[in-house]
Structure 1
Amino acid sequence: MADYELIVTKDEDQPLTNRRSPRVASLDVFRGLCVFLMMLVDYGGSIFPMIAHSPWNGLHLADFVMPFFLFIAGVSPPLVYKKVPDRLKATSKVVLRALKLFFLGVILQGGYFHGVTSMTYGVDIERIRLFGILQRISIGYIVGALCEIWLSHQSWREVGFLKSYYSHWCVAFSLSAIYAGLLYGLYVPDWQFKVSPGTSLLPSNDSSVYLVKCSVRGNLGPACNSAGMIDRYVLGIDHLYTKPVYKNLKECNVTTNGQVPESSPSWCHAPFDPEVTCIFGLQYGHVLAQLQDHKSRLENWSLFSVAIFAIGLLLAIIGIPVNKSLYTISYMLITSAAAGITFCILYLLVDVYGFRRITFVLEWMGMHSLSIFVLVSSNLAIIAIQGLYLHDPKSNIVNSLDYNAFCSQVTRRRSSLPCTGKSLDQDAYLQVVPKSRKSFFA
């Protein structure tokens, strides 16, 4: 696993043509920051809902994590493939690395691991989730890397920043235009789906069939958007994420234990996988590879970040919603700009002024990002901590923290029900904790 630490390895950060060039430590720090934010929103989102994913439109802290990962994945190819003597060999390495990452993601997030209270594993192949975090990063990475390997570019100093990589911009604009056209132009008919006990949060023991009435075009709601329709046709509804964040919308009336009542709209019971794209990080990598002085790098990064943020904000104002699940263009631009500005700040602190001591933890996390991701996404770290208890196996740190957070939520919602051992059954709570936990891994 160490040879492709979340796309960018410590060796791959250096150009193939100059392995002895100074290492850009802020790349590791930024990657470590991504891992830290991932853990923060995953385990803190159930306690502080304001940092968890926005149920649909809007931006919360958790909604920046995935774009940050994609950003740093895009920075790597310009450094690694600055000058490639054999394009076919480089392409085969890119494809192999992406496939490794994809299948690792399937193992980690396909449904093999059943949670901290169910020490079992295994998944029905007919219901395995195909596109988790690592799978989507692998797709974004292979698109960016192939663009870097195969698309020609001119000398930076002769034609300037934008014109030197015009072919890359053409790919970015073309993909965005195609996606926008499908999102707004496709007709979404009425559709139905069946939810079985194995994939549902419903208390029922029988499978249920739901009908979602759409018959619209260009709808960007959770029920009738064309992105979800394409996923259902291409991937199959049984292979989508069964706990999408839109179930936290008020319309779905999710109960304390994470169940969706039968009285909620039919689409609340449907699975849904977020969309993804990755290409803007390439441009920051180009600056890093082509320019050597700190001032020029920071000027180019800052101007580019401000420009795409302004465009994204303008699109949001004129009516294109900022939506992580659909990965709208406004969302892509704003979060990419946020990633670029964050990287500028880290580069200034770490590589320009040399404040590495205050960021050494993040740097270490960045150098071991994939290993940490595996431990977190498979719950192995939590299971290890949960194994330490006092007298009773239930008297451990994990259960105590989860139970206290659960009690706090219940107390806020029902002030007449104090959080005491007599009022709430901890054993019953432990049976629903994995279902009620809000997770980053969406």
Structure 2
Amino acid sequence: MSKEGPKATHYEPVKSYDEEAESERTSLRKVGESRRHEEEDVELALSFSDSGYNANLDRSRKLPVVKETKFLNHSSPHSNHHRHQQHHTGRLVSLDVFRGLAVALMILVDDAGGLLPMINHSPWNGLTLADVVMPFFLFIVGVSLALTYKKLSCKAIATRKALMRALKLLFLGLFLQGGFLHGLSDLTYGVDIERIRWTGILQRIAIAYLVAAACEIWLKGDDSDTSATSALKKYRLQWIMALVLVFLYLALLYGLYVPDWEFQLPIGESSSAPKILSVKCEVRGDTSPACNAVGMIDRVLLGTQHLYKSQFMHEQRFLNSPDYGPLPLNAPSWCEAPFDPEGLLSSVMAIVTCLVGLHYGHIVLHFKGHNDRICHWMIPSIFLILSGLFLDLFGMHINKALYTFSYMCVTAGVAGILFVGIYVLVDMYGYRRITLVLEWMGMHALMLYVLAACNILPVVLQGFYWKQPGNNILGLIGIGR
């Protein structure tokens, strides 16, 4: 019987304090990165400077899920350079460019709309360049949401994040458009809470964002299935939600009875007593400026004193239409009534525009090839435009103020086709240099909106004057008074 020597004892190497601390820091860093990726969100709509969306990589996998660097035209001189940029940034650049284009259009129609009536808002029915800006932003919000929430580990956290971002956008809109800030001809600050305007552009975008984000978080099928054939089944609850919203809007617009109503004119310099005017309606399903259900719901729920008062209704009867000149002597009383173009019922259809954009974002995730994406973008775009024109022809007019179903269809379809064009130019063929300005504007859209569209920059410059308020920088160059 042979003797066996003593067995060797194996000791685990003892980690030093520094090694343990480094290991713990590494683990915490990985957890932090994971949470940051989960919480990363689009600052949407008018996009805060880093939208954080990534159309190329699924962070839970090492392999690319959506390959933005696959080009159909490999011989293009821009392809290799753009391929490197796309791989490096991981952004769907065409979305930034599209957002920047929307900002540029917004500034153009705000500043030049009075001089060029053909691009200014339609007095009532119809469609102009100014009328497509809001739907463009809502469409972009939807596309961004699909890319942002493509993978979720905790729906409750994502919902809380979406709610907080919507509230931030809502309160920013109240500050900018609620009446607190003065205009170019008024150097006083402050707003009477009794007359603050509750609705506005950013408020509408916040509502649409929140509802669309909730749909994307909670009304979505199995995340593991990203095949093309699963798209309709996976998002069927979202389509049902869109149909419910459309039905709700149409039922209220054409089903609510609008009685006679009255409003009070603000006290002017020449009068000491308020003047009360009445409007005769007693109709159902009317879409005229005076007796539509959109305005009635806002008057009942928000109050006439909280609606848009910058002579929106005047535009329907100005002698020098669309938005300047005196009222005719025989102008009806409703021409001086307040009406909010971003009201409650019309915002229901704005949500549907956002859900349409959400579908276009899903196409990015479910289709890998450019041709497949373009095909699945173009078909619904053309269908929406033709449907909207058909409805307009048969009496459901295209109307921005009411945000009619036909208006939603046409503007969403136009947004889809324009997005396809920008995608082909920028993300497919790599002609990014010619759109750098628009890309920058898209990545800083909220800042530009606040400074330009809300007159913050002109107001600040006008606040510094010499002896008289009219002696300011803007007055010297002929802007403002």
| Same fold flag (TM > 0.5) | yes
1:187-336 residue pairs with structure 2 within 5 A? 187-197=257-267, 204=271, 206-243=273-310, 245-250=312-317, 260=327, 263-274=330-341, 275-276=346-347, 277-278=350-351, 279-336=355-412
Question: What SS class does the counterpart of residue 189 from structure 2 fall into?
Answer: coil
- The letter of the residue matching 2:59 is N
> Structure 2 residue aligned with 1:4, among 43, 47, 50?
43
Deviation at 1:14, TM superposition (A): 1.9
Q: Aligned partners of 2:52, 2:395: CA distance in 1, in Å?
A: 40
Deviation at 1:235, TM superposition (A): 0.9
Q: Aligned partners of 1:158, 1:287: CA distance in 2, in Å?
A: 8
Q: Aligned partners of 1:33, 1:189: CA distance in 2, in Å?
A: 42
Q: Structure 1 residues 244, 299: CA separation in 2 closer, same or farther (over 3 Å shift)?
A: farther
Look up the match of 1:116. Answer: 184
The answer for unaligned runs of 5 or more in structure 1 is 404-429, 431-442
Look up the match of 2:59. Answer: 18
Deviation at 1:354, TM superposition (A): 1.1
Q: Aligned partners of 1:111, 1:376: CA distance in 2, in Å?
A: 17
> Structure 1 residue aligned with 2:216, among 139, 144, 148?
148
Q: Does structure 2 conserve the Cα–Cα contact (< 8 Å) formed by 1:242 and 1:271?
A: yes
Q: Aligned partners of 1:126, 1:261: CA distance in 2, in Å?
A: 31
With 136-145 and 269-278 compared, the bigger mean Cα shift is at 269-278
Question: What SS class does the counterpart of residue 359 from structure 1 fall into?
Answer: helix
Q: Does structure 1 conserve the Cα–Cα contact (< 8 Å) formed by 2:318 and 2:327?
A: no
Deviation at 1:288, TM superposition (A): 1.5
Q: Aligned partners of 1:389, 1:359: CA distance in 2, in Å?
A: 38
1:69-88 residue pairs with structure 2 within 5 A? 69-88=137-156
Q: Aligned partners of 2:398, 2:321: CA distance in 1, in Å?
A: 23
Q: Aligned partners of 2:420, 2:461: CA distance in 1, in Å?
A: 36
Q: Does structure 1 conserve the Cα–Cα contact (< 8 Å) formed by 2:42 and 2:53?
A: no
Q: Aligned partners of 1:400, 1:323: CA distance in 2, in Å?
A: 36
Look up the match of 2:108. Answer: 40
Show CA shifts across 1:302-337 (max 9, x none).
Answer: 111111111111111111000000000000000000
Look up the match of 1:29. Answer: 97
Look up the match of 1:165. Answer: 235
Question: What SS class does the counterpart of residue 67 from structure 1 fall into?
Answer: helix
1:339 aligns with 2:415: yes
Percent sequence identity over aligned pairs: 47
Look up the match of 2:18. Answer: none
- The letter of the residue matching 1:302 is M
Question: What SS class does the counterpart of residue 23 from structure 1 fall into?
Answer: coil
CA RMSD of aligned residues (A): 2.9
Q: May I ask how many residue pairs the two structures share in their alignment?
A: 400
- The letter of the residue matching 2:388 is G
- The letter of the residue matching 1:152 is K
Deviation at 1:44, TM superposition (A): 0.4
Deviation at 1:396, TM superposition (A): 4.8
Question: What SS class does the counterpart of residue 193 from structure 1 fall into?
Answer: strand
Question: What SS class does the counterpart of residue 434 from structure 2 fall into?
Answer: coil
With 385-394 and 116-125 compared, the bigger mean Cα shift is at 385-394
Q: Does structure 2 conserve the Cα–Cα contact (< 8 Å) formed by 1:247 and 1:254?
A: no
Q: Aligned partners of 2:200, 2:323: CA distance in 1, in Å?
A: 25
Q: Structure 1 residues 14, 398: CA separation in 2 closer, same or farther (over 3 Å shift)?
A: farther
> Structure 1 residue aligned with 2:129, among 43, 58, 61?
61
Q: Aligned partners of 2:415, 2:321: CA distance in 1, in Å?
A: 32
- The letter of the residue matching 1:342 is L
Q: Structure 1 residues 21, 369: CA separation in 2 closer, same or farther (over 3 Å shift)?
A: closer
Q: Does structure 2 conserve the Cα–Cα contact (< 8 Å) formed by 1:55 and 1:247?
A: no
- The letter of the residue matching 1:282 is L
Q: Does structure 2 conserve the Cα–Cα contact (< 8 Å) formed by 1:185 and 1:218?
A: yes
Deviation at 1:194, TM superposition (A): 1.0
Q: Aligned partners of 1:287, 1:348: CA distance in 2, in Å?
A: 15
The answer for unaligned runs of 5 or more in structure 2 is 1-40, 61-87
Show CA shifts across 1:162-206 (max 9, x none).
Answer: 3432211111111011100100011000011112238xxx97554
Per the normalisation by structure 2, the TM-score is 0.77
Q: Does structure 1 conserve the Cα–Cα contact (< 8 Å) formed by 2:312 and 2:338?
A: no
Question: What SS class does the counterpart of residue 358 from structure 1 fall into?
Answer: helix
Q: Does structure 1 conserve the Cα–Cα contact (< 8 Å) formed by 2:120 and 2:322?
A: no
- The letter of the residue matching 1:12 is G
Asked which structure has the greater CA Rg, the reply is 2
Deviation at 1:376, TM superposition (A): 1.8
Show CA shifts across 1:193-252 (max 9, x none).
Answer: 112238xxx975542101000000000001000111111111111111112533212378
Q: Does structure 1 conserve the Cα–Cα contact (< 8 Å) formed by 2:315 and 2:324?
A: no
- The letter of the residue matching 1:235 is L
Deviation at 1:82, TM superposition (A): 1.1
Question: What SS class does the counterpart of residue 103 from structure 1 fall into?
Answer: helix
